Structure 1
Amino acid sequence: MTEFRWELPVRGDGRHVGSASAHRGGFEFLDQVVLAAELSGLDGVVAPYDPAGEESWVVAGSALRRTRHLRVGVEFHPAFGTPVYAAKLSATLQRLSAGRLDWRLRVETGAADAAARGDRVTGVDRYRRAAEFLTVARGVWNEEQVLPGRFGGTGFEFAGEYYDVIDGGFRGILSGLPFPGVHLSGNSQEAIELSAGHGDVHIFDETGDGVEDGVASLRDTATASGRTVRAGLALPVIARETEGEAWARVLRQWREVRPEAGAAEVRALALDGFRWSGFDQIGYPRPVGLVGSYEQVAQALSNYRARGIEIFELTGHPHIEELHRTGEHLLHLADPAGRILAGQENHA
């Protein structure tokens, strides 16, 4: 079944673009967004890594406590801490949430962000470290129940380039839990190879060139490793009853940045298939997303599904309002059979 998730506004939210906006923020507001996602029928939410936003682990923990059905992804950088610490923290969250936690490992960040975190690992070395991080995290995790007691030298052992573990592994209440689903991202070959060897889901960004080549490369690389990895796509979305209403919304937001702009300037950034490449200029983290009527956006999502995309990470602002629009008007058009089944399961 196709999954739809929502990226949470860890930096706050508002109706307008730019620093002059009256932002809604704080955990009370984030809780409202999370509950709106569950009530709207989405399958999950993602707490993104944002140096200027709330800490993603805290946001994810709160979201897990507030919901019953949503899967919750926490995005973090491998330099966040040791893989053993990340695994132990996750084991506790899995116990509290009946196993609904996912990881979204952020391998690439800007040079300024890395310097601010005191992280000296650069280039392809970041991917070698991430591979070790995931190897160690899985190694200390016991999905079978293990009785507490002295390790006695029979635990997990690892000697690597970045991490060394001697007699590691979880016992007692920290064992017997499902390991978080591992979501990775990036369009580079290094990113795809990391997912092929260690990931469960690979999230692409739409660049305007389509997703076919990336999905095919992911599939072939994972198959060569004897694995299957699901493909996902992160997309901002502006959908309304009519195409004209959707573009009017885009123009209103655009004019908050460029007050004298006309519709032609906005339309000049339109790509084929209801894609638009100006989202990053009106406050979104990614440049390319979808604009159109509910039927048009649903058709675009269905076209992505036909090209191998199984998971969509959507976003829109203001978040609560856009979540309700997505749940009420879009999801049943984009995935009618899946939404019926999901609704029956939730009702049961």
Structure 2
Amino acid sequence: MTAASPPEVAWFGALCDDDYDLLGVADPALASSWDHCRDIALAAERNGFDSILMPSGYALGIDPVAFTAAVAPMLERICPLVAVRLGELWVPQLARQLATLDQILGGRLLVNIISSDLPGQALESAPRYRRTLETMTVLRRLLRGEAVAFHGEFLDLELDPPRLTAGSGTCPPFYFGGLSPAARDVAAAAADVFLMWPDTVAATAAVIDDLRGRAAAHGRTLRYGFRVHVIVRETEAEARAAARRLVSMLDADTGEAIRSRSLDTGSAGVARQGELREGADDEGYAEDHLWTGIGRARSGAGAAIVGDPDQVRAKLDAYRAVGIDAFILSGYPHLDECDRFGRLVLDRYPHAPLPR
């Protein structure tokens, strides 16, 4: 896509027990389940979103691959962005799994690559990212239908591809994020879309400039995605009130307990979300319409775009102006905010799905 092209706009599938009416107050009706998450996926399609992120967390929620396989026949147009935690499956089996999903979806699969510690295992950042790069390299070759002869530090295999490949030999796009230098190098070498968590417009521009240089060194170009929450209401005053209400029952101990459940609490991205909160004003705004209160009860993406429909569209456009062309949005509760954003913003916001 060019800078003037409409962006891809995605919603969040909330598979990881991350749905609340009031942050920190558990509601069994909003816990991740087949029924609840199916309803969110169908709402995202009904509201015109281009794609939907199916997140993955070992200790949280439900499995994204199994869930996507089940819901795929109900989705006619939307593109599921399925998160996979590299290392949990032997790569040839993962390739067959993803190729099968892509066939079920008629070639609409998108893949969110996650480089994280495995359950029960801790690996230093540098070798973990080396393992991630090896896995992405081999996985892409297998999904393209290519034979593999790869002898690396973590993967050592020679084999023909499975008969079933993705999209008749076209690998689904790999979405990948991470702020550390090692993560940025992996993205530059092997990703298609570099994903960022919420940050100020200027800081986002700086990261994109850095990634453009790193990718150019590999003779590559990337697309850039932005994962952020949204709180949109008819007026700015109503939106800011909704933000205050969302954290009105949250205490520090509960927030810390929620943040610590994630396997990525020590990452550079999580650290940056903390810095963003610490630098915010007394109401939690890091800059106009970027509210960091959600990060008080969330390890990952911890800020929301808050405002009336025109302000939200203008904020999205500010990120587009510095290079973002894919947004992954969410809001609490996810089903309600999906409908509200679709009605107030998306209906009047030009957007387009990623071509495959």
Determine if the TM-score, normalized by the shorter chain, exceeds 0.5.
Answer: yes
1:23 is matched with: 29
Match of 1:262 in 2: none
Asked if 1:129 corresponds to 2:131, the answer is yes
CA contact (8 A) 1:206 1:233 kept: yes
Work out whether residues 14 and 23 of structure 1, in 8 Å CA contact, stay in contact via their aligned partners in 2. no
In the other structure, the counterpart of 2:234 is 241
Distance of 1:186 and 1:330 partners within structure 2: 29
Residue 75 of structure 1: which of 63, 78, 83 is its match?
83
* Equivalent position amino acid for 2:289 in 1: F
Whether contact under 8 Å (2:68, 2:80) holds in the other structure is yes
Distance, in Å, in 1 between the alignment partners of 2:11 and 2:241 is 23
Q: CA separation in 1, counterparts of 2:115 and 2:236?
A: 37
The residue aligned with 1:270 is: 285
**What code does the residue aligned with 2:212 have?**
R
Q: What is the DSSP-based 3-state SS (H/G/I as helix, E as strand, rest coil) of the residue aligned with 2:162? A: coil
Instruction: Kindly indicate whether the alpha-carbon contact (under 8 Å) linking 1:31 and 1:62 is maintained by their aligned counterparts in 2.
Output: no
Partner of residue 13 from structure 2, selected from 2, 5, 8: 8
Q: Does 1:96 align with 2:96?
A: no
Between stretches 168-177 and 267-276, larger displacement belongs to 168-177
- Going from structure 1 to structure 2, the CA distance change for 1:139 and 1:295 (only over 3 Å counts) comes to same
The one-letter code sitting in structure 1 at the alignment partner of 2:193 is V
CA change 1:226–1:63 in 2 (3 A) is: farther
> Which position in structure 2 is the counterpart of 1:39?
46
The residue aligned with 2:224 is: 231
1:328 and 2:343 matched = yes
Is 1:48 aligned with 2:55? yes
Q: Pick one of 296, 303, 326 that aligns with 1:311.
A: 326
Change (3 A) 1:258 1:214: same
One-letter code of the match for 1:5? A
* 309-318 or 49-58, larger mean C-alpha shift: 49-58
- After the TM superposition, which of the residue ranges 312-321 and 51-60 deviates more from structure 2? 51-60
Q: 1:49 to 1:328 in 2, by over 3 A?
A: same
Which one of 147, 152, 158 corresponds to residue 160 of structure 1? 152
Return the offset for 1:22: 4.0
Q: Say which one has the larger Rg.
A: 1
Q: Deviation at 1:173?
A: 7.1
Q: 1:239 to 1:156 in 2, by over 3 A?
A: same
Q: What is the CA-CA distance between 1:266 and the residue it aligns to?
A: 8.5
Instruction: Judge conservation of contact 2:229–2:304 (CA < 8 Å) in 1.
Output: yes
Cα distance, 1:73 vs structure 2:
1.1
For residues 287 and 324 of structure 1, the distance between their equivalents in structure 2, rounded to whole angstroms, comes to 21
Unpaired segments ≥5 residues, structure 1: 145-154, 260-264
Deviations 1:187-237 (A, max 9, x none): 222212111110110101124463011111111111121111100110011
Residue 276 of structure 2 corresponds to none
Q: Displacement, 1:6?
A: 1.2
Instruction: Pick closer, same or farther for the CA change 1:195–1:315 going to 2, 3 Å.
Output: same
Please report how far the alpha carbon of residue 324 of structure 1 lies from its aligned counterpart in structure 2 after TM superposition: 0.8
Which SS does the other structure have where 1:23 is aligned? helix
Question: For the residues of structure 1 that align with 2:157 and 2:68, how far apart are their CA atoms?
Answer: 27
Aligned residue for 1:255, secondary structure, equals coil
Give identity over the alignment, percent. 26
Q: Which amino acid in 2 is paired with 1:10?
A: L
TM-score (norm 1): 0.84
- Equivalent residues of 1:99, 1:177 under 8 A apart: no
Residue by residue over 1:92-115, the C-alpha shift from the partner in whole angstroms, topping out at 9 and shown as x without a partner, is 111111111111111145xxxx4x
Deviation at 1:276, TM superposition (A): 1.0
Describe how 1:130-209 pairs up with structure 2 within 5 A.
130-143=132-145, 155-171=147-163, 176-208=168-200
Count, aligned residues: 318
Structure with the greater relative contact order (CA < 8 A, sep ≥ 6): 1 or 2?
2
